[in-house]
Each structure stands twice: as C-alpha cells, then as structure tokens.
C-alpha cells in the first residue's frame, strides 16, 4: 500500500513573500522608528556641547566629562590638538563606548538586522539575500567585540553610579553641600538602575560568570551569579528599550533644567 505524500521542498521566496497572516511588519517597523528617533536625538545632543550639566547633575551623554568646563571636568577646556575644522564636543570622546556596546548587543543585532537591513525582514518572510553569510567575515565578525565593549560598559556603570551619588548633594546658602533629593536625583539614579538591568543581563556576562572552557563552572558562587544574570537576561529586550529611553530622557531632563525650561524640584 502506498502512503499519500506531500511535497515539502523549500520554495525560494521573493522579498517580503510569506505565508504569515499576522502583522509581521509591525515590530520591525516600530523598532525602526524607535532606533531612528534615538539616533537622531543622541547625535543632536552629542554635538550641542552645551547645557549638559546643572550643579551636580551631569548628562549621561557627557559622562565621564574627560575634557570640558565646570566642576565635572577631568581636564579643563578643549584639547589643543583638536582639529579646528571639527566641531568639538566632550560627548564625542565617550559615546563610542555605550554606542558600540549596544550596536554589538545580541538582542539589538537581531532587531536592527530585521528593521534596518530587512535581512531577513522577519521570521519566515522572504529576504533579498539568497545566501546566508553569518557573522564569520568582515565586517560582521567585528560583532564579536561585544565582550570587550561589555568591560567598558561595566566601568561606565560605576561612573554613572558615582554621578547619581553626586546628584544627591546640593549647595546650601552656607556655601557647603548638603544631602538632598531632587527630581533630577531620581532621574539620574533611575538611569543607573535601568542601565544596570540592561548591562548585567548581557549574554556575554552569562558566559563570563557561569562558564569555564566548554563547561559550566562548578563554583556555587559562579552558579548563583549565572542564575542572577540569566534572570535579568530573560527580560533583556525590555531592559534594552527601557534603558535606551531613559538614558535619552535623562539627557533631556538635565538639558531642559540647565536651559531654565524645566525647574528641578527639590523633595528635601
């Protein structure tokens, strides 16, 4: 007796062709809009070279302030060697680090490959490229730098946590700084929480804390650390978006307060 057969040979799909009936284009579309908005705003803010600090508040786009003016600056003023033709901004010295960290993040890669390059447009949707090249050659092999960006991002977390601590001190009428909390203190502290949730849930950090060569570590402390990172990692997408939004909002908050458009209310 012969059994009925079904031809399941894979048919090459045209670009955008799919059997999916859901709105598969919605997520990459929203991702495209969200990332584009952040890229436009952060680029604009990075080139302003103004309104990035107010008292002890410092915008995360400008922290650490390696060159600049004011009490946060490590080195006062603009470096003499800076080319006259290039617009100067302290943000240009540091934004490569968080930018590189996010650009090489496993979650973001999946998101912007779909939303910006349509490669593929979405799961089970026809793509323009017929050959899968992976990330084994230049330029995408450079995505493997993610682990090294992670080391720098962890350092930045400490710096931003120190900024949040400094944001708890306000100059009094007696010329001495006193402990206090303003809305800006909460905004800067929340920024550290959001960025910590994102950074400490990194895939590379999981491997780093939980693994030895080709195996899990047997150390109970490292297993515990692995569980903690894995727990954050399960919400990595939400942390990625939440921290992206909040870091932009933190810059905006400091900027508008420094301009006098918003008032920084003190709680105590």
Among 88, 106, 165, 169, binds ligand FES (CB under 6 A): 106
When the beta carbons of 13 and 147 are compared against ligand FES, the nearer one is 147
Q: What is the 8-class DSSP label of residue 69?
A: S
How far apart CA 114 and CA 31 sit, in angstroms, is 9
Per DSSP bridges, beta strands 177-179 and 75-76 are unpaired
When the beta carbons of 13 and 27 are compared against ligand FES, the nearer one is 27
Scanning 158-166, 187-195, 202-210, 241-249 for contacts with ligand FES by CB under 6 A, the matching segment is 202-210
Q: Are 183 and 264 in contact (CB under 8 A)?
A: yes
Per CB under 6 A, 45 contacts ligand FES: no
Per CB under 6 A, 187 contacts ligand FES: no
When the beta carbons of 153 and 257 are compared against ligand FES, the nearer one is 153
Among 35, 57, 61, 107, binds ligand FES (CB under 6 A): 107
How far apart CA 112 and CA 101 sit, in angstroms, is 14
Q: How far is the CB of 203 from ligand FES (least distance, A)?
A: 4
End-to-end CA distance of the chain: 86
Tell me how far apart the 2 most distant CA atoms of the chain are, in Å.
99
Stretch 121-160: interaction string toward ligand FES, x if CB under 6 A: -------------------------x--------------
Per CB under 6 A, 204 contacts ligand FES: yes
Which residues in the 217-256 window bind ligand FES by CB under 6 A?
A: 236
When the beta carbons of 35 and 107 are compared against ligand FES, the nearer one is 107
Cα angle at 243 between 237 and 246, to 5 degrees?
140
When the beta carbons of 54 and 195 are compared against ligand FES, the nearer one is 195
Q: Are 31 and 115 in contact (CB under 8 A)?
A: yes
Q: For residue 54, what is the enclosing H or E element?
A: strand 53-54
Per DSSP, the residues of 83-107 read -TTSPP-GGGGTTHHHHHHHHT-HH
Per CB under 6 A, 113 contacts ligand FES: no
Q: Summarize as ranges the residues that interact with ligand FES (CB under 6 A).
A: 105-107, 146, 202-204, 236
């Amino acid at each position: 007796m012969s059994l009925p057969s079904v031809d399941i040979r894979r048919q090459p799909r045209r670009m955008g062709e799919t059997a999916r009936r859901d709105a598969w284009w919605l997520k990459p579309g929203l991702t495209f809009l969200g990332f584009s908005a952040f890229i436009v705003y952060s680029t604009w803010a990075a080139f302003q070279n103004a309104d990035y600090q107010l008292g002890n508040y410092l915008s995360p786009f400008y922290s650490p302030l390696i060159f600049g003016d004011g009490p946060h600056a490590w080195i006062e003023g603009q470096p003499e060697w800076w080319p006259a033709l290039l617009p100067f901004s302290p943000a240009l010295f540091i934004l490569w680090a968080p930018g590189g960290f996010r650009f090489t993040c496993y979650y973001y890669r999946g998101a912007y490959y779909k939303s910006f390059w349509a490669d593929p447009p979405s799961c089970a949707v026809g793509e323009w490229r017929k050959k899968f090249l992976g990330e084994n050659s230049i330029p995408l092999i450079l995505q493997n730098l993610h682990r090294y960006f992670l080391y720098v991002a962890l350092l930045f977390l400490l710096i931003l946590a120190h900024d949040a601590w400094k944001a708890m001190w306000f100059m009094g009428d007696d010329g001495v700084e006193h402990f206090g909390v303003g809305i800006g203190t909460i905004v800067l502290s929340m920024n550290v929480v959001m960025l910590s949730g994102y950074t400490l849930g990194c895939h590379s950090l999981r491997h780093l804390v939980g693994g030895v060569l080709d195996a899990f570590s047997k150390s109970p402390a490292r297993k515990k650390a692995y569980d903690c990172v894995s727990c954050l990692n399960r919400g990595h997408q939400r942390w990625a978006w939440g921290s992206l939004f909040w870091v932009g909002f933190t810059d905006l908050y400091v900027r508008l307060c420094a301009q006098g458009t918003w008032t920084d209310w003190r709680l105590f």
